[in-house]
């Protein structure tokens, strides 16, 4: 890069690697000598800067709250939220005629539907420089990758076979760094010894280019895993009795035990990645235990937050200043970027029994709901036979929470569509929260009729 300073006669002197040279300053003229050595101005032909091709996608803008508005109506079944990857929520679903779909939010507040070769909830989140989703089908077996280099426009790659996987096996955890994939299987032991485990795990690597198995299997079941830059870590249950829960690293040399987690008297663990750190939050009685693994060095940091004497429901949430955890829908533990300490912040009381949350442009989008379905039979007929009918009921609200001082308060809240409905022959409605840069909303899923995406935050 050259630096300019203006010398006498309005000339700009530019210093470059080859020494200074003189240019005219904003005159539109060049100075050139004639045959007699005199100088005379010559017109300068300006070169137009290169023009980048216009993007077919709108520029992402900050989000603004708005009244609930239905932006999409579609037929959905078997809906599963994968994770928040590349700044967006990703959802897999079966659409009309059983077609598999990948759902995410576009740049203008709508719901994008990308066709997939098949539906799967076993998806590996892979790649730092080239983020993507790797979908695995173990029945055939085969896999494909969705490129999220531009997360607004996912690209589905070709389906390839996996010769290193035995057909019919079912994975508990899959992970990948884009070069090799970790697959962890779980099955009943064929000949369990006296006092030995009745179920055994097998975890191994596959080459993502060829699908071939790499190295020997590790004797453990991984319930969740992350891989980055050639290293893979997991929350595991080892095959040896009494099958301890363990944080482990698996590489070409085998399985390395990092730390035993001890008694785990409450079910449930959630995970997320923040930079080079992989966070695991485990629900334990009276507290939430946090394990933080550095994916590049393997170093472990542990923390815990006291939350009372009960088993808790834990939801991770991305906030502008770092991740947090929502406990039982009632309190927010703000972890922060560096994870140094945490503080409990009360949330407004739930308006129904269940609450789902997602970060949305500095607010928290929350949906409170009751969703129930049950079978009921009529009185028996003359033959003593019963006819059963499926019934459902739904009540739900959604809105935004904003921070005022040390408390979160409702900024807006309203009933969701179909709130208060009861009906027959279906499971009713269940909400799912979604977000993307500048937008957020609720996907209201109905497996017996139209599902709807309701926007609450859209680009300003």
pLDDT, position 3: 37
Taking the alpha carbons at both ends of the chain, their separation in whole angstroms is 37
On whether residue 97 sits in a domain, the answer given is no
Structure tokens at 4: 């300019």
Q: Does residue 171 or residue 335 have the better pLDDT?
A: 171
Q: What is the pTM of this model?
A: 0.81
| 18 falls within a domain | yes
Quick one: average pLDDT of 65-88? 92
- What is the average pLDDT across 302-314? 83
CA dist., res. 33 & res. 35, Å (int):
7
**Is 96 a residue whose pLDDT tops 50?**
yes
Instruction: Compute the distance between CA of residue 306 and CA of residue 411 in angstroms, rounded to an integer.
Output: 28
- For the segment 160-185, the average pLDDT, to the nearest whole number, is 91
As a whole number of angstroms, the distance between CA 388 and CA 379 comes to 10
* pLDDT at 457 (0 to 100): 95
| pLDDT confidence of residue 227 | 94
Lowest mean per-residue pLDDT among 118-127, 194-203, 245-254, 275-284: 194-203
Task: Extract long-range pairs of 372-376: CB within 8 Å, 24+ residues apart.
Answer: 372/428, 373/426, 373/427, 373/428
- The Cα-based distances of 388 to 221, 379, 380, 424, 446 in angstroms read 40, 10, 10, 11, 21
Output 209 or 5, whichever has higher pLDDT.
209
Question: Does 407 score more than 50 pLDDT?
Answer: yes
Q: What local confidence, expressed as pLDDT, does residue 38 receive? A: 47
Q: Is residue 15 part of a domain?
A: yes
**Considering its fold, how many domains does the chain have in total?**
1
pLDDT at 438: 92
pLDDT tens digit sequence for 112-154: 999 999 999 889 999 777 899 999 998 889 999 999 999 989 9
Residue 172 or residue 17, greater confidence = 172
Position 391 confidence tier, pLDDT thresholds 50, 70, 90? confident
- Domain assignment present for residue 427? The answer is no
pLDDT at 20 exceeding the cut of 50: no
Over residues 258-285, the mean pLDDT reads 86
Confidence of residue 216 (pLDDT cuts 50, 70, 90): very high
The whole-chain average pLDDT of the chain stands at 83
Domain boundaries, position 12: 1-31
Phi, psi of 285 (to 5 degrees): -65, 120
Whether the per-residue pLDDT at 81 is higher than 60: the answer is: yes
Q: For residue 399, what pLDDT band results from cuts at 50, 70 and 90?
A: very high
Q: Residues 155, 157, 162, CA angle at the centre, nearest 5°?
A: 150
Q: To the nearest 10°, the Cα dihedral for 140, 154, 433, 81?
A: 10
Tell whether the model's pLDDT for residue 163 goes beyond 90: yes
Contacts of 92 (CB under 8 A, 6+ apart): 79, 80, 82, 100, 101, 102, 103, 116, 119, 120, 121, 123
In a domain, 13, yes or no: yes
Query: Following DSSP, what letter does each residue of 224-246 receive, concatenated?
Result: EEEEETTEEEEEEEESSTT--EE
Collapsed DSSP state (helix, strand, coil) of residue 104? strand
Give me the pLDDT at residue 325, please.
92
pLDDT of residue 17: 39
Is 433 inside any structural domain? no
Q: Which DSSP helix (H) or strand (E) runs through 42?
A: strand 39-43
pLDDT of residue 57: 61
444 found inside a domain: no
Q: pLDDT > 90: what percent of the chain? A: 52
Residue 437, phi then psi, degrees to nearest 5? -55, 120
Is the pLDDT score of 346 beyond 60? yes
The predicted model gives 366-390 an average pLDDT of 83
**Length, in residues, of the chain:** 460
Confidence of residue 336 (pLDDT cuts 50, 70, 90): low
Pairing label, strands 111-115, 422-424: unpaired
What is the DSSP code string of 281-318?
A: EEEETTEEEEEEEETTT--EEEEEEE--SS---EEEEE
Question: Would you state the pLDDT for residue 265?
Answer: 75
Residue, of 19 and 192, whose pLDDT is higher: 192
Is residue 22 predicted with pLDDT exceeding 70?
no
Q: What is the pLDDT of residue 192?
A: 63
| Percentage with pLDDT > 70 across the chain | 84
Report whether pLDDT(35) > 60: no
Q: Taking 70 as the threshold, does the pLDDT of residue 194 lie above it?
A: no
Q: Which residues does residue 81 pair with via DSSP β-bridges, in sequence order?
A: 91
3-state secondary structure of 450: strand
Higher pLDDT, 235 or 335: 235
pLDDT at 266 over 70: yes
Question: For the residues 288-311, what does the mean pLDDT come to?
Answer: 88
Residue 280: pLDDT above 90?
A: yes
| Residue 316: per-residue pLDDT | 93
The CA–CA distances, whole Å, from 173 to 122, 202, 258 equal 7, 11, 18
Please indicate, yes or no, if residue 63 is contained in any of the structural domains.
no
């Amino acid at each position: 890069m050259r630096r300019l300073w203006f010398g006498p006669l309005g000339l700009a002197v530019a210093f470059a690697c080859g020494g200074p040279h003189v240019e005219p300053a904003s005159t539109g003229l060049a100075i050139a000598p004639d045959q007699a050595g005199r100088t005379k101005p010559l017109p300068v032909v300006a070169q137009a800067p290169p023009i980048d091709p216009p993007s077919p996608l709108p520029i992402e803008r900050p989000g603004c709250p708005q009244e609930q508005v239905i932006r999409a109506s579609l037929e959905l079944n078997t809906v599963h939220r994968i994770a928040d990857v590349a700044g967006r929520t990703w959802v897999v679903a079966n659409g009309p005629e059983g077609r598999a779909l990948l759902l995410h939010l576009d740049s203008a507040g709508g719901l994008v539907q990308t066709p997939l070769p098949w539906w799967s909830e076993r998806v590996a989140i892979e790649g730092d420089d080239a983020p993507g989703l790797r979908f695995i089908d173990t029945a055939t077996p085969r896999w494909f990758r969705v490129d999220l280099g531009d997360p607004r426009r996912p690209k589905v790659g070709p389906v390839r076979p996996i010769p290193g996987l035995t057909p019919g096996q079912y994975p508990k955890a899959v992970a990948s760094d884009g070069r090799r994939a970790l697959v962890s299987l779980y099955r009943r032991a064929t000949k369990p010894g006296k006092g030995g485990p009745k179920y055994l795990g097998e975890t191994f690597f596959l080459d993502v280019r060829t699908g071939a198995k790499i190295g020997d299997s590790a004797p453990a079941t991984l319930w969740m895993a992350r891989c980055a830059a050639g290293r893979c870590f997991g929350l595991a249950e080892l095959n040896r009795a009494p099958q301890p829960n363990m944080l482990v690293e698996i590489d070409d040399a085998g399985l390395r035990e990092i730390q035993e987690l001890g008694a785990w008297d409450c079910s449930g663990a959630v995970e997320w990645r923040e930079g080079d750190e992989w966070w695991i939050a485990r629900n334990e009685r009276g507290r939430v235990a946090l394990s933080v693994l550095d994916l590049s060095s393997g170093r472990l940091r542990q923390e815990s937050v006291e939350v009372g004497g009960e088993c808790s429901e834990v939801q991770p949430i991305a906030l502008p200043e770092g991740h947090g955890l929502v406990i039982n829908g009632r309190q927010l533990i703000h972890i922060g970027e560096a994870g140094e300490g945490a503080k409990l912040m009360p949330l407004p009381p739930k308006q129904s029994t269940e609450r789902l949350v997602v970060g949305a442009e500095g607010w928290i989008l929350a949906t409170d709901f009751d969703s129930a379905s049950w079978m009921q039979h009529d009185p028996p007929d003359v033959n003593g036979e019963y006819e059963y009918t499926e019934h459902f009921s739904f009540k739900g609200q959604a809105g935004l929470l904003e921070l005022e001082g040390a408390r979160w308060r409702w900024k807006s809240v309203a009933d969701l569509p179909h709130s208060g409905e009861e009906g027959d022959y279906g499971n009713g409605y269940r909400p799912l929260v979604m977000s993307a840069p500048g937008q957020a909303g609720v996907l209201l899923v109905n497996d017996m009729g139209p599902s709807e995406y309701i926007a609450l935050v859209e680009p300003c």
